[in-house]
Each structure stands twice: as structure tokens, then as C-alpha cells.
Structure 1
């Protein structure tokens, strides 16, 4: 049977970083991983990062949810993975940051795969800095974050380097009070040994908490395209002026004097740039609340 691990967590928490690290470790160990990714919106930005790792079987769900309402699409993509790649021995599923993790698992527990897939559990990535300011989120978004923590079998407390030691201790205690059974591992840039995940989830897990649906959240996405290169400083000034309801941005921006568009990431007011060595589509995906009412013309 093929082991399945589900990576959950709010927008911008570091799920894709954890996923990429896991893929690298699995390949180094001689394993054959495959990936199913759920993107929020029409543009497969995070999936592009996985594709760049080379020869990792990948299927995507765009503008949909790996949950009960999207179970048919999920089943179709999983079936395609199993039929197209006979030698895979582990599947990593990354949900959109707006998905409820148990709803996502329910879609994977399909009778079509009962004799082939073995669901091991949920790894939730918690953003330490966002957690400190979680009360600033809208009630429904706040509730979703809590549910993602409650239903985890492992909690990766990511971006732990961006808060103080005192804050880190408080956050760990608060997460432990929400979920008394999941180990909490402090991480930076999603670096967590997959061997730890594997050993911790060696016994098949079942969700114990009642489900509070994450559907119908007031989130939307927008794609911004670029016709000309821009200055990094101008982009950073622009992002600093955005409202707090813009939770996540990710994509590739053409920068003046730089050959290829740079990978741009934004989460909770923080910007990160990374160079790219191949030509990537010049566009950025924005995810948040009320973004249709924001003037993006600048």
C-alpha cells in the first residue's frame, strides 16, 4: 500500500516549504514520492515550485477544494497518479490554506483506493508570527486556523525565528492546549525531518474532534500580471500599503536589471525574494478578504 500524508495550514504558513523539504529527503533516501496540490485560484504557483524539483509525479486541483465538495475531482487526480506512475511509494497532499484538513482527508478515504492507499495523518504548519496576531483575523478565518491546529497529528511551528523566545514558549503552550496529542516541532523555513513525520505517524490516525466546516469562507483570489520590469523597492513600498486582509501573495515578478523574473512571496506583511534561473510566467496570485475592492492599478 502507498502511504499518504496530508499537509495543512493557513495561507502563507510554509506548507510548500515543508513539502519541498520532504520531497528532497524522500528522493535522497531512494523513495518515489508523488504530490497532489490544491491551489487557491486558477494559477498553479506553488505547483511550479514542485515541478522545478524534477521528475516528481504531480497532479493539481485549481480553483477547487480537496474536500467533500470536490471529492470527485480529488478521486480523479489520485486515480490518475496511481495509473500513470506505478512505482510511487508515498503521496504528499498539500491543501489550500483555506481548506479544513479533515474534510480534505474525507475525500481521500475513497472506496476506490481502499486497497491501495494508507492515510497516515495530518501535518499542520502553524505560522508563529501570524498566531501572535490571530485575533486580528476575521472570526471565520480565525476559526479555520484553530480547526487546522485541533485536527493535526503533528504541528510544525514554523517561522519560529521571527518571534521572541518568550513568545515562542507562549505559542507552544497555547497550541498544546488546543491539541493535547500532537507533538509541536519548532521549524524555520519548513525544515522538518521526514523520518520524524514517518515514525510519529507509524500508527494510523483518525480525527477525534467534531468537524467545523471551512467552506464558504470570505476569501477570494486575484491574478496580477506584469508588462514591464519594475523596481524591487517600488514593490515593497506597494506591499507595505496593502490592508491586513491581504493574507498571501506569491508569484514571479520581472525586476529591472535581473535576467529572469524573481520569485516573490508575501505573508503577514513580510516580503521574501528568491532568484530564479529559468524563465517563469510574470504574474502574482493574491489571496485575501475583500481584495476585489482594492485598487490594484498601481
Structure 2
């Protein structure tokens, strides 16, 4: 399996600097990186920071999120099928919510090929001190990127006093007490700090891709043993706890030859007919989903 790191953080926080630093260190260790880079505009400006010998896929004009996950899956499939690499670095746009960005990576098509090591959030310490100047919505996104981090890179500490650095670190830790914090200038961290993140593929009574003990989120891959009733399935969806954020995959329905493509996010359900015989599997993303009883489940995923 190939390790995957998702680089999150607000606009201008230093994600691209972190990406460049990590690429250089991986190459020095003989580890072949590949990159998927997401940018808001039409021009792939930040991609110029990636060496020409590095496999690179770009997603322009938008976030890696629910609406762009299909494009993301296509990019991942292309990389996996046509490129030789050991580790994948995904840099999200600064406007991306980390949960939605992770969603694009969790596809049943290659759930067993990718090992999600976790989210590394770069926090601009200077901007953090001035966060009250941000709009409420933007400030909330800033907080969410920190709250869901596996590892927090407290960047630009060279612009702060020692007292300010201490205060920022304490405040970040209060938001996410589980994630380690590394104080940096120019996003310079050692790859040892990220390689030790705990994220493994578990196969117990259920197939579960855990993002790590420090992170709140986890993912579960469920395989259906037989077709299910659509109304029964949708009733189950309506009664899901708020801790289930996202679901996608292929659901076998009674009376239909092929499983339907199914997507769920924020209470919204989408069904699309599928004309090929796809594996009857869905990926569920959320918190405490290992104990979730799935409709039609006989006790084993």
C-alpha cells in the first residue's frame, strides 16, 4: 500500500513550502513521491514548486470536496495505474475543509491500495493572532482545519515574540489536544515527524481504515452480502447519527441487476444507475463508526 498525506491549512499558511520540503527529503531518502495539487484558480501557479521528475496531477478551479471527488478519483486512478511512486502528497486549497478533502481519497475503487497516514495542517501563527479580522465563516474554516489535524505545523513563528509563540501553541492545543504541534519557520519539518503518524489498515470483524489514534475521524469499508430494499436503506440513512459525515460507493438494490452508485453527505442522498457490475461496497466516513450497525448487516463486513 502507498502512504498518503493530506496537507491542509488556510490560504497562505505555507502548505506549498511544506510540500517542497517534504519532497526534497523523500527524494534524499530514495522514496519516490507523487503529488496531487488543488488550486482555486485556473492557473497551476503552485505546481511550479514541484520538480519535473515528480508525478503530478492538478485540479484547478475548485476544492477537492463532494462535488469534485469524482475528478479526484480519476486522478488517483491515473497515478496508481501509470506512475511509479511510494508516497502520495495531496495539497488542498486553503478553502478546503479537511473532512471533504479526505472524502475524495476514500473510494471503494482503491480503498485497499492507499494507506491514509493523516491530515497535516499548517497554521499561520501570525494570522491566528489576527483571526478576529476574518469573517465568521472563514474563521470557522480556519478552526476546522486545525481541529481535524493529525499533526499541526505552527508556522511563521519567526514573526512572533516568544510570549506570542507560547500563547498560540497553547490555544492551538486547546482546540485539538490530540495532535502534536511542531513550531516552524518556512514549514520546515523532518519527514520523521510525519512517517511516525499512526494510520493503519485494520481487518477485524469489520474492514476499517483508521486515520490514527490522534484523529477523530475514521473510515469503514462495508461489503454487502445481498441486495437490500431501497426504502429500508434510506430509512436507515435518515436515522444515522450526526457523527456520520460522508458515505459513497455501490449499493445493490432489490430488483436491479447492477449496484447503484450511492452518495451521501450532510443529509443529502444521491442515487445514480451503474451499467457495469461494480463491487457492492460503500465507504463510511465519520466518528465512532466502528460500532455503527449497517442495514442488512449480518455481523461481518
TM-score for both structures, normalised by structure 2: 0.67
Q: Distance in 2 between matches of 1:137 and 1:96?
A: 17
Counterpart secondary structure, 1:166 = helix
Q: Distance in 1 between matches of 2:157 and 2:244?
A: 28
Within the alignment, does 1:105 sit opposite 2:96 as a pair? no
TM alignment of 1:2-41, pairs within 5 A: 2-41=2-41
| Aligned with residue 152 of structure 1, among 133, 149, 159 | 149
| Aligned with residue 92 of structure 1, among 89, 93, 98 | 89
| Aligned with residue 173 of structure 1, among 153, 170, 173 | 170
Q: How far has the Cα of 1:80 moved from its partner? A: 1.0
Counterpart secondary structure, 2:153 = strand
More relative contact order in 1 or in 2 (CA 8 Å, sep 6+)? 1
* Residues 216-245 of structure 1: per-residue CA shift (max 9 Å, x gap): xxxxxxxxxxxxxxxxxxxxxxxxxxxxxx
TM alignment of 1:259-278, pairs within 5 A: none
Q: Find the structure with the greater CA-based Rg.
A: 2
Displacement over 3 Å in runs of 4+: 201-204, 209-213
| Aligned with residue 67 of structure 2, among 50, 69, 79 | 69
TM alignment of 1:161-240, pairs within 5 A: 161-201=158-198, 203=200, 204-205=210-211, 207-208=215-216
Q: How far has the Cα of 1:28 moved from its partner? A: 0.4
Is the 2:117–2:197 Cα contact (8 Å) retained in structure 1? no
Which runs of 5 or more residues in structure 2 are unaligned?
201-209, 218-242, 247-301
Q: Distance in 1 between matches of 2:63 and 2:102?
A: 11
* Residues 131-188 of structure 1: per-residue CA shift (max 9 Å, x gap): 0000100000000000000000100000010011000000000000000100000011
Q: How far has the Cα of 1:211 moved from its partner? A: 8.8
| Matched residues, number | 211
- Across the aligned residues of Structure 1 and Structure 2, the Cα RMSD in angstroms comes to 1.8
Which runs of 5 or more residues in structure 1 are unaligned?
214-298
